[in-house]
C-alpha cells in the first residue's frame, strides 16, 4: 500500500497541479499522515492558478467593455446618419403622420372633397411651409386634382399642375411662384396682407389643378362664387389647400386634392 502511495505522490509532483489533485492529495494525506508542506505548496499553486484565471477574466471583461463602447459609438453614428435622412410629412384630411424629431424632406397634403355643401379646406402647416420654402430659399410645389369613382376608392382621373419653383418669406409672407403651375406664368403676392383676392399684385390663388383644387392665400368663403371671389379676405399669414365641389369636372361625383411641397 505504501508503495502505491509513493508512486502516486511521484506522479502528483511530476504533473501540473490541479484543484482535483490537491483534494485527492489531501485525502491521501489524512489517510497516510503525510507532511503538509507539499500540500501547502499545492494550495499555493492552485491559488496562483486561480489568480491567473481571474486576471484573464478581468482582461476579457475589459475587452468586452471596450467593445461595448465601440458598439455605442457605432450605434450613435448610425442613428445620427439615419436622423439626417429626410422623411415625408403627411397631412390627410387633418390627420398628420410624421416621424418625430426628423428633418422633413417632403410635405404631402391630401384633402377629400365633400359631395355636397360648400368648399372644403385644409390649412397648410406654417412651420412646415417655412422649413421647406423659407429656410432653404425656395422649394417646389405641385398640386393634383384626382377624380374618384363613387364605387371605387382609387382615382380614375388625375390632373397635375407643377412642379414649379416657390419661395416664401417667413418674416413678411411675401411669396413668388415660378412658371409651371399655371398658364399665366410666374406670380407673386404677400400672404397675410389683409387684401381681397384679385388680379395683379393680390392674385389670392397661387396654384390650381382641375378647376377644383386650389392653393390659396386665404380660406374659402362659406358661400362662394367663381374665380377669386371664392376666397375670404387674407387676414393672416397661412396658406390653404381648397377643394371646390361646384367647380369639379363634369361627371365627377367625388374627388381629392393633393398638394406636394419639397
- For 159-187, how does the pLDDT look when each residue is reduced to its tens digit (9 = 90+)? 888 899 999 999 999 999 999 887 778 88
pLDDT, one tens digit per residue, over 49-62 is 889 999 999 999 99
* Residue 177, C-alpha cell as written in the block: 411662384
- Per-residue pLDDT at 210: 84
CB 184 within 8 A of CB 200: no
Write down the pLDDT at residue 1: 43
Q: What share of the chain is helix, strand, coil (3-state, %, to 5)?
A: 35, 30, 35
Burial label for 141, CB within 10 Å (0-12, 13-18, 19+), is buried
Instruction: Look at residue 13 in the predicted model and tell me its pLDDT.
Output: 44
Percent of the chain topping pLDDT 70? 71
pLDDT of 206 over the 50 cut = yes
Task: Name residue 167's beta-bridge partners.
Answer: 176
Q: How far apart are CA 226 and CA 155, in angstroms?
A: 25
Give 27 or 185, the one with higher predicted confidence.
Answer: 185
216 compared with 20, residue with greater pLDDT: 216
For residue 243, pLDDT over 50 is answered with: yes
Q: Where are the alpha helices (DSSP H) in the chain?
A: 2-14, 19-32, 37-84, 126-133
What's residue 7's pLDDT?
39
CB atoms within 10 A of CB 196: 13
What pTM value is reported for the model?
A: 0.66
pLDDT value at position 231?
Answer: 83
pLDDT for position 88 = 93
Q: Is there a contact between 159 and 210 (Cβ–Cβ < 8 Å)? A: yes
β-bridge mates for residue 209, sequence order: 213
Q: Contact 173/181 with Cβ under 8 angstroms?
A: no
Q: Where does 68-154 show beta strands of DSSP type E?
A: 87-92, 95-97, 104-112, 120-123, 139-148
Q: Which of 2-11, 58-67, 157-166 has the highest mean predicted lDDT (pLDDT)?
A: 58-67
**What 3-state DSSP class applies to 242?**
strand
| Per-residue model confidence as pLDDT tens digits over 69-127 | 888 888 888 777 776 788 999 999 999 998 888 889 999 999 988 655 567 899 999 99
Instruction: Please give the grid coordinates belonging to residue 146.
Output: 384626382
Predicted pLDDT at 17: 46
Segment 123-150, tens digit of pLDDT: 999 999 999 999 888 999 999 988 876 5
Give mean pLDDT, residues 205-230: 78
**Residues linked to residue 259 through DSSP beta bridges, in sequence order:** 109, 143
Q: Residue 237 has what pLDDT?
A: 92
At 100, list the grid cell: 418625430
Domain regions of the chain by residue span: 2-82, 87-261
Torsion angle (degrees, nearest 10) of CA 125, 211, 221, 217: 40
Q: Closest Cα partner for 96 from 123, 71, 70?
A: 123
Strands 187-190 and 104-112: unpaired
Amino acid at each position: 500500500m505504501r508503495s502505491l502511495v509513493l508512486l502516486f505522490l511521484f506522479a502528483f509532483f511530476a504533473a501540473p497541479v490541479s484543484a482535483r489533485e490537491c483534494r485527492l492529495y489531501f485525502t491521501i494525506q489524512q489517510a497516510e499522515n503525510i507532511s503538509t508542506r507539499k500540500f501547502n505548496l499545492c494550495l499555493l499553486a492552485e491559488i496562483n492558478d486561480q489568480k491567473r484565471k481571474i486576471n484573464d477574466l478581468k482582461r476579457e471583461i475589459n475587452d468586452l467593455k471596450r467593445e461595448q463602447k465601440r458598439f455605442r459609438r457605432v450605434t450613435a453614428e448610425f442613428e445620427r446618419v439615419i436622423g439626417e435622412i429626410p422623411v415625408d410629412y403627411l397631412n390627410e384630411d387633418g390627420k398628420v403622420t410624421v416621424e418625430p424629431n426628423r428633418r422633413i424632406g417632403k410635405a404631402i397634403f391630401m384633402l377629400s372633397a365633400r359631395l355636397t355643401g360648400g368648399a372644403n379646406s385644409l390649412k397648410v402647416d406654417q412651420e412646415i411651409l417655412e422649413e421647406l420654402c423659407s429656410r432653404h430659399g425656395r422649394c417646389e410645389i405641385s398640386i393634383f386634382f384626382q377624380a374618384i369613382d363613387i364605387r371605387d376608392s382609387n382615382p380614375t382621373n388625375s390632373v397635375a399642375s407643377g412642379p414649379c419653383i416657390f419661395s416664401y418669406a417667413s418674416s413678411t409672407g411675401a411669396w413668388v411662384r415660378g412658371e409651371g403651375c399655371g398658364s399665366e406664368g410666374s406670380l407673386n403676392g404677400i400672404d397675410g396682407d389683409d387684401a381681397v383676392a384679385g388680379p395683379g399684385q393680390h392674385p389670392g390663388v397661387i396654384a390650381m389643378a382641375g378647376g377644383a383644387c386650389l392653393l390659396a392665400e386665404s380660406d374659402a368663403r362659406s358661400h362662394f362664387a367663381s374665380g377669386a371671389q371664392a376666397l375670404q379676405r387674407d387676414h393672416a399669414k397661412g396658406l390653404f389647400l381648397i377643394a371646390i365641389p361646384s367647380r369639379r369636372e363634369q361627371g365627377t361625383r367625388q374627388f381629392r386634392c393633393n398638394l406636394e411641397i419639397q
